[in-house]
A and B are shown apart, each in its own frame.
Chain A
Amino acid sequence: MSNVPVELKYAKTHEYARVNDDGSVTVGISDSAQDQLGDMVFIELPEVGQTLAAAEACAVVESVKAASDVYAPVGGEVVEVNEALVDSPETVNQDTYGEGWLFRLQPADVAEMASLMDAEAYEEFLASEVH
């Protein structure tokens, strides 16, 4: 079973969103997503200062198997990106919820968070995807 931390929110496109104390949101891909993609070999991050709309494609994670777009779970401005991943993409496989985060954004409208799934809903969603 994949790891789905209860304190996070999840998008149908398999990103997670963590609301930080300062109101910013840290974004990465779920454990299920990294497991499906397999060994990461290349990661393309958004630019700091870039303004994203919710569901906008803004990063790419590439594994040996496939390239996959990452979509912004909520709209906002990118305030920080995880540069360490450029040289160590495997960190996403090893610790996606910790050191393997992709970028942090300042949401334009916090209410958009409500459109994301909680852990329970995401687990049900994952189960529904496996037939």
Chain B
Amino acid sequence: MTEFTEKNANTMKKKTPLYEEHLADGGKLVDFAGWEMPINYGSQIEEHNSVRQDAGMFDVSHMTVVDLTGERTREFMRYLLANNVDRLKDSGKALYSCMLNEDGGVIDDLIVYFLRDDFFRMVVNAGTHDKDMDWLNKQAAAFDVTVTERPELAMIAVQGPKARAKALPLLSDTVRTAATELKPFFGVFDGDWFIARTGYTGEDGFEIVLPAADAATFWQQLRAAGVRPTGLGARDTLRLEAGMNLYGSDMDESISPLEAALGWTVAWEPAERDFIGRAALEKQRAQGTKQKLVGLLLEGKGVLRNHQKVVTEGAGEGEITSGSFSPTLQRAIAFARVPKATGDTCQVDVRGKLLPARVVKPPFVRNGEAQIEL
């Protein structure tokens, strides 16, 4: 056994409004982007399986909720994001997008909700908080858009095939009907609460933004309703199985969406829409990208890990950007950035041994079902 390197520095780590609940639930707390967050509450695999088969809940209060307001907000969002908010016609509708720099590199990926033409809400990553806020404030000034961070709000994701059924009875009477009828990728306000049918697991469920003061009680009610506390460990294996990228691992400012399997999130039409990074992306599209992000399935035993080297037949080398053991498939899976000419198979350097892997198209799992043949 190599010696443990559990980081426990005495620097002040931030705590979410659910910190005491994590302690009460036996959560193993680790540092995540400066936040003290539960990696698991005992068994990551059992938590993962609960979300695939039943219902689990995640404290995602460390993520940043930002409200954008002002008359020219829609116009600003159209310019800020690589995806086109004009796809959002109905109030409450959500859109996944990258926020790019001028070079076409990804500053962050996010979910944006259209509420009114003068009011959009974004949820961005915790690890990118400072640079996101700097960028937003810098870009918003020219549009007279007000950028308001909402640190007084908590956020709980309730995910799994039974998540909605278990969460709905706990919502207020005023919103229950609307929340029951909520279509996928829509959100609805209930006073200070915002209930959205979105997630990061490949399962049905809600992401619920609520006042920090209400968070602990709601968490306890969910737990009493049979929703299992689930840590960041399972959140990572669930999103990987679901074929969803993780910022900082699968893309960053040196990588464009075209090299991160996120080309589908770039709205090229209408051609006259200018957005930050468009010129750089168009150039890259015309010249062609040299690498691509693919899914890998390890053929035999072993575990794929971030940064392992990928060796291809004649196309050159690549690297795993996110790798883990898939509890649903009982095999190692990964995303890897590989040369464009990579074929259907490759080898991965797993602790000094070259092991055969198959190149596959994510998702690996959706709604509890395997999406690739083993």
Contact = CB atoms under 8 A, between A and B. Distances in A.
A127 B234 CA distance: 28
Contacts of A64: 44-45, 233, 237, 324-325, 327
Nearest 6 pairs of A and B residues by beta carbon? A14-B1, A41-B325, A39-B45, A13-B1, A62-B303, A131-B8
Contact of B3 (A12, A66, A86, A131): A12
Interface residues of A, number: 29
Given A13-B2, A33-B1, A64-B237, 18 more contacts: A14-B1, A29-B1, A36-B6, A38-B43, A38-B44, A41-B303, A42-B325, A60-B351, A64-B324, A66-B305, A67-B351, A68-B2, A69-B2, A71-B1, A93-B43, A129-B3, A130-B8, A131-B10
A42 B303 contact: yes
Nearest to B231: A38
A33, A62, A66, A86 interface centre (most CB from chain B within 10 Å): A62
A75 B10 CA distance: 39
Interface in A46-89: 60-62, 64-71, 86
Contacts of A29: 1
A130 B237 CA distance: 27
B256 interface: no
B151 interface: no
A27 to B, nearest CB: 11
Interface string A1-28: 0000000000111110000000000000
Interface residues on B, range: 20 to 34
Contact of B305 (A15, A33, A67, A86): A67
Nearest to B43: A39
Contacts, number: 64
6 contacts: A38-B40, A38-B43, A38-B44, A64-B324, A67-B303, A129-B4
A15 B303 CA distance: 22
B6 A38 contact: no
Interface of B: 1-4, 6, 8, 10, 39-40, 43-46, 233, 237, 301-303, 305, 324-325, 327, 351
Contacts of A13: 1-3
A15 B45 contact: no
Contacts of B6: 36, 129-130
Contacts of B351: 60, 67
A38 B1 contact: no
Contacts of A41: 45, 303, 325
A38 B46 CA distance: 11
A129 B44 CA distance: 23
Contacts of A93: 43
